[in-house]
Amino acid sequence: QVQLVESGGGVVQAGGSLRLSCAASGRTISSLAMAWFRQPPGKEREFVATINRGGGATYYSESVKGRMTISRDIAKNTLFLQMNSLKPEDTAMYYCAIRVSSGDGIYTTVSSYDYWGRGTQVTVSS
């Protein structure tokens, strides 16, 4: 069993920055693919960014590319999402997810991930 706990959300003005954290327990993240998703109010959960199991490859949605950076700290067993130049349309509940199933690819769908955190709210005011 894997537990994921997100933190770092809050209210920020457009153009500002936030850094989200996702602390994992129950498994080491060093050999597992992880990702960030978000769910805007009234909409479906959508992919934001992922890092592959080896940590050598990342992939971003077009809407956040160049503004957000996914990274991980193996020693802390924690995933991060650095968010810069935030826009009102970035307002959403942000979730981290981890894939324990086999595979070395880049995964961008909700169904590809096995465990989820409860989320952290990000609100960007205009």
For the stretch 57-103, pLDDT in tens is: 999 999 999 999 999 999 999 999 999 999 999 999 999 999 998 88
Cα separation, 33 vs 83, in Å, equals: 20
- pLDDT band, residue 8 (cuts 50/70/90): very high
What pLDDT score does 103 carry? 83
120-125/10-13 β-pairing: parallel
- Cα–Cα distances in Å, from 37 out to 5, 48, 61? 14, 5, 10
* Rounded to 5°, angle at Cα 114 from 53 and 123: 90
Spatial separation of the C-alpha atoms in residues 44 and 88, rounded to whole Å:
17
pLDDT for res 102: 84
For the chain, helix (H) and strand (E) counts, in that order, are: 0, 11
pLDDT of residue 62: 98
